[in-house]
Structure 1
Amino acid sequence: MTIRISNLTLDIDEDIELLRKKVCKKLRIKDKDIKSFKILRESIDARKKNSIKFNYSLEVECENESRLVALARDKDIKIEEVKYDSEFQLGNKQLDNRPVVVGMGPAGMFAALLLAEKGYKPIVFERGEKVEERTRTVEGFWNGDKLNLNSNVQFGEGGAGTFSDGKLTTRIKDSRCDFVLEKFVESGAPEEIKYKGKPHIGTDILKTVVKNIREKIISLGGEVRFNSKLEDLKYNDNNKLCAIVVNEEEIPCDVLILALGHSSRDTYEMLYKRGVFMSPKPFAIGVRIEHSQELINQTQYGKFAKHKKLKAADYKLTYTSKNTNRAVYSFCMCPGGEVVAASSEEGRLVTNGMSFYRRDKENANAAIVVTVGESDFVGETPLKGMEFQRKYESLAFKLGGGNYNAPIQLVGDFLEDRVSKRLGSIKPTYKPGYTFANLKDCLPNEVVETLKEGLVAFDKKIKGFAEKDAVLTGIETRTSAPVKIQRNEKLQSISVNGLYPAGEGAGYAGGIMSAAVDGLKCAESIMKEYAQL
């Protein structure tokens, strides 16, 4: 049991060592009375540009904690007891075969790690390459090589987040988040992710972290097979999973954590044919926008823009259109980063954002996306949202020139419905290349109208956001899964006993942290029912 103190602040130039003095004053104790002291969260309060502060939440251990909290009578001081307990009671049913995990993104990775730590010796099948080889393949595609349909920005060890920014922000309140962060740090992530308000690992460091987690799983008796694509499910007359088909090989299987990722369209199609119940899910589509990082720093931090304690600034913007009644918002903002080619199907173009840990590139980028839902989709199947994505990705591919060059347009020209003829002050970062085009030709009319309204509204919040030279790159469609695979209270598919849909691709997460947590939940569900092998 510890004390949690929230809302302790330091001015930007105050030394962090002052936090201990502030704690002592709050609790009315002496420094020597503190047994342990840990920063839980550090965030920047930049609402007043002439007085930027750092805000902290702390965990403190000392004597007579309950009494101190009672005497303080402060809403920012409370007893903290919620911790993730991985020492739960294991089940006693016997498995005939080792547990299987499909997908080595965050959900699959952490499910496999927990299973391995508990002695269940899981087998992981990943359709893409291990991260070292995947990196070479992806960089080759960015430089003009042929697209690898099974190993790309979407598929391969680490999942789609590996070639993004490694953002660990999440809105979920789950004690398993601490477990995930701890394992990341043990595997090479910077210690600061455990307390930063907007933690990120960065693509460069995340690759090493992912590799180390894989090696940990293997050292504990697990097995990880790459270039191994799930092709089919087999189950008996009672709809109990009994086997899977991977690379044309039938493999006996009792329990399967299906952490497929939000872009596994051929897997969705297979599941639909096999009668696995799923439903369409809303998501958002739009474009990537690039500004100079210097502009974002200036607008967010004012006179402190170059302060040594402040890193590249980010932003989070939302607006609801008065004309279309749709939400438009920034998504996956990458300070000091690049826009990257993220296609996973031939003849379809998708973008994403990426930053390294230092976030020190010249441009800031983010997706600016508009919500779409079932009323926008054509068809009767649960895959109609997926087909909606395909339609506009195909249009973007053609608009860019049919060679994975991206269509781009300056904001000023987008607002005036004209094709740009030359670049302004912002140089696009997308590779392999770009083509000037009118982005309205690869987006739904309602999305275009909402984007225009949103850009103007965002300019009132961040002066210069809708500057004429800012670059829009099309298109962003993979904000989340287009389907949800329905599951019961044991986290199993309502259609197939033994099938555990997990993570973002199953419709139960929205980022690295929430996907990892969902993977842990699915692993726990298996372990609470079945005994170790």
Structure 2
Amino acid sequence: MIRLTNIQLPLDHNDAALENAIVSMLDINAEQLVRFDIFRRGYDARKKTRILLIYTLDVEVQNESSLLEKCADNQNIKATPDLNYHPVAKAPDALTERPIIIGFGPCGLLAGLVLAQMGYKPLILERGKEVRERTKDTFGFWRKRELNTESNVQFGEGGAGTFSDGKLYSQVKDPKQYSRKVLEEFVAAGAPDEILYVSKPHIGTFRLVSMVEQMRATIIELGGEIRFSARVDDLHIKNGQVTGVTLNKSERDDGEHIASRHIALAVGHSARDTFEMLLNKGVYIEAKPFSIGFRIEHEQSVIDQARFGPNAGNPILGAADYKLVHHCKNGRSVYSFCMCPGGTVVAATSEENRVVTNGMSQYSRNERNANSAVVVGIDPSDYPGGPLAGIELQRQLESHAYIMGGSNYDAPAQTVGAFLRGEKSEQLGTVQPSFKPGIKLTDLSDALPDFCIEAIREAIPEFNKKIKGFSFDGALLTGVETRTSAPISIKRDNNTLQSINTQGLYPAGEGAGYAGGIMSAAIDGIKIAEAMALHMNEEQSK
């Protein structure tokens, strides 16, 4: 097939326009066109009154070879690349050992699926519950303030991405087209076909739940095993080589020991007790930069109007998003993070007596408000004290937010106007808070370090220059956002992907510092699965 790129058509084009554009670009007769598929569709909204749809198409035509030769100098006309996933290995017939994956979020899910597809029958250990039970616990916390520290937004089948906007795009370099593999597996598990071609695909929480269940079933059908409520409390290392794990104690036993020399660590960015255990076992960990800030809410109609003008509400465009960054006078950078169109702000703590915010959307993105994090980048020089000092800072901020909110899991909040003026909010503006259990209006000035408050106060008016209405008095800030990424990095070898000082341990995904979001974590899971498979085959052949 032939791939055509940068085909631009009006937002309201008719069905025949794509076919006409193909015929025109290739300079062929309509009879020569056999069929075409949409590979990607995005939009250019820089001119709000003339928004364009931008297509990449895969086209089947007669005389394909001669057409490619004729168009060799046209960068928008090339042969369609091979997008099929090609496994790097196959499990030996007499497999002597099962690989272990710790964590069943996007990274562990894809690592487990790919290992199972290659025949390695992985054992996946997840500290939380299966996704539907976990959903009940999470909604129970939001409605009744009853926190289960092992089953919540952060812990459980599907990982933190289950309670998010479900974004399926990333800025990571992907020369091997791993992202296509991820999307195809999601579609096979029940995701809508459109995620294969829209430029910013997303799914939303409710659809993710059923997809995760289907992917779990596939892993089991291929010989894999998933254990829930199976927290890893100890890692066994002998002479620099991992040899197994011990699970959490229960009323029945002192913790099951499971042997394996190949263990993927895909625990997510909030497994603080696991990080402490790893450090105590001698696994090399170092502090890394992350970001902290607040959630900001606007009415979605304000964002739609600012981004799309008279085309706001067009079903092809959907609910508008944004991506903003500002470099401040104090040397800090403030940026929007995890923007959730038509979504809600959610309680995301995994520890008692702490408040953490995050954002979530459903597939429809039809809630009244838009929300995103507005966060400030910080680095280890801001929190000296060792590899886990960033975790201690997170805990301090989350504990303080708990007190500011009334010590009942309500979140501290402030209208944007009052925040910019340095005044305590006395009443809400037009934006109604979506955070559950609830919010307490207060002054957020001491919710974060002074340099963060200063930077955010400078950035919000600057963001208003790009998104009209962003600094609107009645918009709402809710605190605190501290789990943007792991504050640690578990260093791994660039070639083997094993820990730099612990053979057989494969740090992976967000919790190890190698991903940020569903797609990048899932891609890292595939890379880890491939590295594990190759190493297992190499060891068994010796």
TM-score w.r.t. structure 1 length? 0.96
Q: Give the structure 2 partner of residue 303 of structure 1.
A: 310
Q: Give the structure 2 partner of residue 9 of structure 1.
A: 8
- 1:59-82 per-residue CA deviation (whole Å, 9 max, x = no partner) reads 223355454234233222223335
DSSP 3-state at the match of 2:374: strand
CA distance in 2, matches of 1:308, 1:251: 51
Q: What is the CA distance between 1:91 and its match in structure 2?
A: 7.1
CA distance in 2, matches of 1:499, 1:32: 57
DSSP 3-state at the match of 1:491: coil
In structure 1, runs of 5+ residues without a counterpart are none
Q: 1:393 aligns with which of 389, 398, 401?
A: 398
Q: Does 1:339 align with 2:345?
A: yes
Q: What is the CA distance between 1:324 and its match in structure 2?
A: 1.2
Structure 1 stretch 164-173 or stretch 332-341: which is displaced more?
A: 164-173
Q: Does 1:102 align with 2:102?
A: yes
CA distance in 2, matches of 1:47, 1:187: 35
Quick one: which amino acid aligns to residue 267 of structure 1? T
Contact 1:12 1:52 in 2 (8 A): yes
Quick one: which amino acid aligns to residue 179 of structure 2? C
Q: 1:63 to 1:496 in 2, by over 3 A?
A: farther
CA distance in 2, matches of 1:99, 1:406: 41
Q: 1:218 to 1:90 in 2, by over 3 A?
A: closer
Please report the RMSD computed on the Cα atoms of aligned residues, expressed in angstroms.
1.7
Q: Give the structure 2 partner of residue 327 of structure 1.
A: 333
Q: What is the CA distance between 1:437 and its match in structure 2?
A: 1.3
Matches within 5 A, 1:106-185: 106-174=106-174, 175-185=177-187
Q: What is the CA distance between 1:92 and its match in structure 2?
A: 6.2
Quick one: which amino acid aligns to residue 45 of structure 1? D
Q: 1:452 aligns with which of 448, 451, 457?
A: 457
CA distance in 1, matches of 2:154, 2:167: 16
- 1:397-447 per-residue CA deviation (whole Å, 9 max, x = no partner) reads 111111110000000000111110011111000000111111121101111
Q: Does 1:270 align with 2:277?
A: yes
CA distance in 2, matches of 1:94, 1:320: 57
Q: Give the structure 2 partner of residue 374 of structure 1.
A: 380
CA distance in 1, matches of 2:206, 2:79: 38
Contact 1:91 1:528 in 2 (8 A): no
Q: Does 1:214 align with 2:216?
A: yes
Matches within 5 A, 1:2-81: 2-72=1-71, 73-81=73-81
DSSP 3-state at the match of 2:400: helix
Q: What is the CA distance between 1:158 and its match in structure 2?
A: 0.4
Q: Give the structure 1 partner of residue 191 of structure 2.
A: 189
Structure 1 stretch 506-515 or stretch 61-70: which is displaced more?
A: 61-70
Q: What is the CA distance between 1:10 and its match in structure 2?
A: 1.5
TM-score w.r.t. structure 2 length? 0.95
Q: Does 1:362 align with 2:368?
A: yes
CA distance in 2, matches of 1:245, 1:276: 16
CA distance in 2, matches of 1:101, 1:348: 29
DSSP 3-state at the match of 1:233: strand
Q: Does 1:412 align with 2:413?
A: no
Q: Give the structure 2 partner of residue 232 of structure 1.
A: 234
Q: What is the CA distance between 1:58 and its match in structure 2?
A: 1.4
Matches within 5 A, 1:470-489: 470-488=475-493, 489=495
DSSP 3-state at the match of 1:371: strand
CA distance in 2, matches of 1:530, 1:169: 31
Q: What is the CA distance between 1:528 and its match in structure 2?
A: 1.6
DSSP 3-state at the match of 2:182: helix
Q: Does 1:522 align with 2:524?
A: no
CA distance in 1, matches of 2:432, 2:226: 41
Contact 1:104 1:157 in 2 (8 A): yes
CA distance in 1, matches of 2:311, 2:488: 44
Q: 1:256 aligns with which of 259, 263, 280?
A: 263
DSSP 3-state at the match of 1:57: strand
Contact 2:145 2:437 in 1 (8 A): no
CA distance in 2, matches of 1:12, 1:164: 29
DSSP 3-state at the match of 2:477: strand
Structure 1 stretch 70-79 or stretch 191-200: which is displaced more?
A: 70-79
Q: What is the CA distance between 1:38 and its match in structure 2?
A: 1.6
CA distance in 2, matches of 1:368, 1:101: 33
Quick one: which amino acid aligns to residue 239 of structure 1? G
CA distance in 2, matches of 1:184, 1:273: 37
DSSP 3-state at the match of 1:333: strand
CA distance in 2, matches of 1:26, 1:173: 29
Q: 1:442 aligns with which of 447, 462, 485?
A: 447
DSSP 3-state at the match of 1:284: strand
Q: 1:17 to 1:125 in 2, by over 3 A?
A: farther
Quick one: which amino acid aligns to residue 125 of structure 1? L
Q: 2:519 aligns with which of 510, 513, 517?
A: 513
- 1:291-317 per-residue CA deviation (whole Å, 9 max, x = no partner) reads 001111111111111334331111111
CA distance in 2, matches of 1:521, 1:281: 22
Matches within 5 A, 1:494-509: 494-509=500-515
CA distance in 2, matches of 1:361, 1:92: 51
Q: Give the structure 2 partner of residue 465 of structure 1.
A: 470
CA distance in 1, matches of 2:321, 2:57: 24
